[in-house]
Structure 1
Amino acid sequence: MRLVGTRDENESVEFSQALLSPSANFGGLYAPKILPKFNLEFFKKALNLSYSDIALEVIKSFEFDVELEIFKDALKSYEKFDDPKCPVNIKKIDENLYINELFHGPTRAFKDMALQPFGVIIDALAKQKNEKYLIMCATSGDTGPATLKAFENSKNVKVVCLYPADGTSEVQRLQMTNVKGKNLKSIGIKGNFDDAQRSLKTLLLDQEFKDSLKENELKLSAANSVNFGRILFQIIYHFYTYIYLLKSGKLKDDESFDIAVPSGNFGNALGAYYAKKMGAKIGDILIVSNENNVLTELFNSGVYDIKDKTLVKTISPAMDILISSNVERLLFSEFGDKKTKLLMENLAKDKFYEIPKIDGFRAKFCTDKECANSIKDMALKGMLIDPHTATTFKFTPAKKPTVLTSTAHWVKFTPSMLEAIKGIKTTNEKEQMMMLASEFNQSVPAEILKLFESEEIHKDIVEISDIKKTILNWIKQ
C-alpha cells in the first residue's frame, strides 16, 4: 500500500518514503486512501494471540514496503516495558468502566507506544540506505522525552527536540534537558506548543535549512504525529483493547464499546478512528479537551475557530494545543483531498473553517477544577491518575462498556497531584512525589528519581527566530 497526500491524493509514496520525508504537497500530510479491513474470523483467531502477534497482523495488512523483519525487530522494543509480554495494562475500575494504561514504557507516557518501535524502523532504514538523518520533534511535554529516548546513541540519527520553555511539567523538562546522548539536542523556545509545532513545519519545508543539513551529510525528517509511522502504532493498541474486551467476556461479538481520549494533537483519537474503520467494534470516540476546547467545538458544532482564542495554560499541559495537526487526516478521510486543502488554507488564512458534523464522535471539555476533582475522587478510591487521564472522567458514569485512555504516569505531574489531592503547593518535588507514592502504596520509577540527581546538559532557551541558527550551530560542532 502507498500513502497519499491529504491535500493532493494524486501524490502517492511508499511507506518508507513517508517515514523519512513526512511532508506532502501543499503542506499536507500522508495518509492511507483505503484502509485494510478485518472480519469476525480474524478477531476470533486474535483471542489467542499476544500483543506483538496482533500488532504484526495489523502491520502486515497494510502491505507496506518495509521488510517484515524490521517490523519484528521494532516490536521487540516493547520488551523494555514494565511487562515484557504486553506494553499496555487494561483495568476494570467500575461498572462498564475500564482504564487502558499506555504509560508503562521508558519515559512513562503513551508516546513510547509508538516512538520506541518507530525509532527502530527509522534507524534500520537509514542504515539500509547508508544515510544519516536529523529527526526533529516539537513537544507539549511527552513526545520530546519519548523521541529522545527512542534514538538514544543512534549512529545514524540525530534528534532535535523543541519544547515550550514554560509549557511542560518539571519532570518532562528534566527528561529533555538531562539527556546525555551526543546525537541528541533539546531546545526550549520562548513560545507555546503551537509555536513549536509551527516552527517544526516551517523547517521541514525550508529548502535553505535542508541544503545546510545536506552540507553536513544529513537528511531531514520528523517524529511528531505528522509522521504516519507514529499513527500506525497508535492504531494497534485500540485494536488490542477491543480484542481484550472480547477475550475477557466483557463484550459479545455483536457489541461495541466507547473509547474516551484526552485530546491535544489528535493522533491518539485518530488511531481509534482508523481502528474502528478497520473493523474493531468501537462505538463512539469520546473526545475530551481541556480549557483549550477547539476540538469540543469542532465535534459538537462543526466549527474550528481560533480567531479570538489565546492558548490557556492548564494542569494538563500536553493538551494545551489550539491547532491539532492530525485532524487533517480525519478531514481527508471524511471529505477528500480538495476539501481538506481548502479547509486547511482557510485555517491558515482566516483561523476558521466549518464542516458538517462527523458521526461517531462525542466531545466535552474539562476545566482545571473538574480535572482536579476527578484526581481527588480517584485518590479517595485508592488510585492515582494523572491530569490528562483525569479529563476523561467527564464521560462517566458509563452506560455501556467504555475505556478511558490513560496517557501518562502521575509522577510526571506531582505539583498538580499534590494540589488536587491535598490542597498544598510543591516545595520539594522529589520528596513529595515519594510521599504520595508511599501513601498510596505505589513506587516511583527509578528513571524518574534519577532525573533530580542528574546534571542538566541542554540549557538553551531561544527566540523562535533563532531556532534554525541554534540547530545549525549544534550540527556543525
Structure 2
Amino acid sequence: MNFIQTRGIDENRPQSVTFSQAILAPIASFGGLYVPETLPELGEEFLTKHLNSSYKELAKDMLSRFEIDIDTDVIDEALSLYDEFDDKSNPVPVVKVKENLYISELYHGPTRAFKDMALQPFGIVLSSIAQKRNENYLILAATSGDTGPAALETFKNRANVQVACLYPDGGTSDVQRLQMVTEDAKNLKVIGINGVFDDAQNALKHLLASDSFKAALKEKDVSLSAANSVNFGRIIFQIIYHIHSYLELVRQGATAMGEKVYLNVPSGNFGNALGGYYAWKMGLPVEKIIISSNENNVLTTLIKDGKYDLRNCEVVGTTSPAMDILKSSNVERILFDLFGYKRTRELMNDLESKNAYELTKDELSTLRECFDADFCNGDEGKKYIKETFENDGYLMDPHTATCLKSYETCSNPDIKTIAYSTAEWTKFSPVIANALTGEVDAHDIDALESISKTANLEIPAMVKGLFTKEIAQDTIIEKEDIEKEILKFL
C-alpha cells in the first residue's frame, strides 16, 4: 500500500510513498501529512475470523492487510512487546462500568499510558528500517505528558536512533516528568521548555520542515523523523485496539456481531480518535465517534459549530493536562478524507495565516455524520471520578473522566459505548486524591499512598521507584533555543 499527501504534491516529491518512507519522513508537501491511498476492507468476515484470536494475531493480520513494506520478522518482534504488558494474553482489558458503558483500558504497558500501544512496536519498526538502510535518525517527540515517556522507553539504547523529547516545563504531572527526566540512556535527550505543548509541537513541525535544520543534520550524517502522531507509524498501531475492543464486547456477550457501538475518545491531538475513524471506515460497526475534551475545547466547537478559531485562545492548564492542546494535528487527516486535498490545504493555510478556519454548512453536516462532542471541566471530572468509584467500584484518571459527561450528553443510552481510558490512576494522583478525599496540594507520592489506601490498590513498582531514581535530564530552555539545544546534543 502506498501513502499520499493531505495538502497535495509539490514538485519535489513523488506522487506517493511507501509506508517506510512515510514514517521516516512524516511531513509531506506544503507541511501536510501522509495518509493511506486506500484503506483495506475488513468487514464482518474479518471480525468473525478474529473472534477468538489473540491481540497479536489480530494485529498481525490487520497490518498484513495494509501490505506495508516491513519484513515479517520485524513485525513479529515489534508485536512481541505486547507480551511485556500486565497480561500478555489480553494487553487491553475491556471492563463494564455502567449499563451499556464499557472502558477499554489502554494503559497496561511500561509507562502506564495509552501511547505504549503504538510506540512500543513503532520503536522496533523504525530502528530496524534505519539499520537496514544503514542510516542514523534523530527522532523528535513533543509531549503533553504521555508521548514523551513512551517514546523514550521504546527508543532507549536502540541502534541508529537518537531521540530529542520536548515537554512543557510545569505542564505535566510529576510522574510523567519523572518518567522522562530519569531516563539516562546516551541516545536520549529530554528538553523542558518554558511554554505549553502547542509551543513544543509547533517547534517539532517547524524543524521537520526546516531545510536549514536538515542541512545541519546532514553534516552530522543524521536524518530526521518524529514519534508524534503526525507519523502514520503511530496511527497504524492505534487502529488495532479499536477493533480488539469491539471484539471484546462480542466475546463478553455484551453485543452481537455487527451491532453498532459508540467510540468515546478523550482527545487532545486526535490520533486516538483518528484510529477509531479508520477502523470504522475499514468495516468496524460504529454508530458515531464521540470526542471528549476538557476546557481546551476547540474540538467541541469544531464539531458542534464548524469553527476552528484560535484567535482569542490560550491553552488553559487543567486537571487533564495531556489534553491541554489547541492545535490538534490529526484533524487534518479527517479533513482530507472528507473534503479532499484542495480544501484541506485551504483550511490549513487559513489556520496558519489567520489562526482560524470555518467549515461550510454542508461540510459541517458531513463532519457531524461521523462525530459528536462535548467537554468536561475539572470540577465535573472530579465529580465523575468520585461517583464512579463510589457507585460502580471503578477508579479512573481525569482524562477518562471526561468521557462520562459526553456519555451522558451525546449518546443514545440504548446503544453500547466503548470509552477509552488513556492513563492509569497513578499518572495523575493529586487530582484523583482530591476527588476521592478532598485533600489538596498533595505531592504525587503522598497522593499515591492516599489513593492506594482508599481504593485498596497497590502502587506499581515502576511508578513508586521513580521517586528515588536520580535525575539524569535537567535541561530547561526558552522555546527559541530548541534547535540550538538539539544540535548541541547531537
Give the TM-score of the pair, scaled to structure 2. Answer: 0.95
Retained in 2: the 8 A contact 1:371–1:390?
yes
Partner of 1:165: 169
Deviation at 1:437, TM superposition (A): 1.2
Further displaced range: 332-341 or 3-12: 3-12
Contact 1:11 1:25 in 2 (8 A): no
**Could you say which residue in structure 2 is the equivalent of 1:241?**
245
Q: How far, CA to CA, are the matches of 2:154 and 2:194 in structure 1?
A: 26
Aligned counterparts of 2:312 and 2:75: Cα–Cα separation in 1: 45
Question: Which among 385, 390, 395 is matched to residue 380 of structure 1?
Answer: 390
Could you tell me how far 1:463 is from its partner in structure 2? Answer: 0.6
Match of 1:421 in 2: 436
Q: Specify the alignment match of 2:333 in structure 1.
A: 329
Match of 1:395 in 2: 406
Q: Structure 1 stretch 272-281 or stretch 216-225: which is displaced more? A: 216-225
> Contact conserved, 1:6 with 1:329, CA < 8 A, in 2?
yes
Aligned to 2:370: 360
Consecutive unaligned residues of structure 1, counting only runs of 5 or more, are none
What is the one-letter code of the residue matched to 2:396?
Answer: I
2:268 aligned partner: 264
CA distance in 2, matches of 1:407, 1:427: 23
Output the CA distance in 1 between the equivalents of 2:378 and 2:450: 23
**1:6 matched residue in structure 2:** 6
Corresponding residue number in structure 2 for 1:31: 35
- Deviation of 1:202 (Å): 0.5
Structure 2 residue aligned with 1:219: 223
Distance in 2 (alpha carbons) for counterparts of 1:79 and 1:463: 40
Instruction: Check conservation: 1:246, 1:252, Cα contact below 8 A.
Output: yes
Cα deviation 1:56-113 (Å, max 9, x = unaligned):
1110111111122211111001111101122211011121110000000000000000
Q: Distance in 1 between matches of 2:77 and 2:340?
A: 35
1:124 equivalent in structure 2: 128
Q: Is the 8 A contact 1:426 1:432 kept in 2?
A: no
Distance in 1 (CA, whole Å) between partners of 2:292 and 2:407 is: 12
Cα distance in 2 for partners of 1:399, 1:194 equals: 38
Q: Give the aligned length.
A: 475
Equivalent position to 2:423, from 408, 415, 422: 408
Q: How big is the shift at 1:217?
A: 2.0
Is 1:435 matched up with 2:464?
A: no
How far apart are residue 215 of structure 1 and its match? Answer: 2.0
Answering whether residue 465 of structure 2 is matched by residue 450 of structure 1, we say yes
Deviation at 1:127, TM superposition (A): 1.0
1:370 and 2:380 equivalent? yes
Give deviations 1:232-252, integer Å, cap 9, x for gaps: 010000011122222222222
Q: Which amino acid counterpart does residue 469 of structure 2 have in structure 1? A: S
Post-superposition Cα deviations, 1:239-269, rounded to whole Å, max 9, x if no partner, equal 1112222222222234101011001000000
**1:472 aligns to what?**
487
Q: Deviations over 1:100-157 (max 9, x none)?
A: 0000000000000000000010111111111111101000000000000001111211
Name the structure 2 match of 1:291: 295
Q: Matched residue of 1:220: which SS? A: strand
Q: Would you say the 8 A contact 1:265–1:326 is kept in 2?
A: yes
Deviation at 1:301, TM superposition (A): 1.2
- Residue 226 of structure 2 aligns to which amino acid in structure 1? A
| Residues 149-189 of structure 1: per-residue CA shift (max 9 Å, x gap) | 00111121111100000211111111111101111110000
1:463 aligned onto 2:478? yes
Structure 2 residue aligned with 1:108: 112
The answer for the alignment partner of 1:317 in structure 2 is 321
Q: Name which of structure 1's ranges 441-450 and 376-385 shifts more when overlaid on structure 2.
A: 376-385
Contact 2:262 2:418 in 1 (8 A): yes
The one-letter code of the counterpart of 2:388 is M
Runs (5+) with no aligned partner, structure 2: none
Secondary structure in structure 1 of the residue aligned to 2:259 = coil
Identity %: 50
Give distance in 2, aligned partners of 1:473 and 1:406.
38
Letter in 2 for 1:384: L
Q: Secondary structure at the match of 2:471?
A: coil
Counterpart Cα distance in 1 of 2:426 and 2:132: 39
Q: Does the CA-based 8 Å contact 1:383-1:440 persist in structure 2?
A: no
For residues 212-243 of structure 1, give each alpha carbon's deviation from its aligned partner in whole angstroms, at most 9, with x where no partner exists.
Answer: 22222211100000000000010000011122
Letter in 1 for 2:150: A
Q: Which moved more, 1:266-275 or 1:366-375?
A: 366-375
> CA offsets, 1:348-382, max 9 Å, x none?
01111112221121100111111111111122133
Match of 1:274 among 268, 271, 278: 278
The one-letter amino acid paired with 2:461 is A
2: distance between equivalents of 1:307 and 1:395?
A: 26
**Cα offset for 1:297?**
0.7
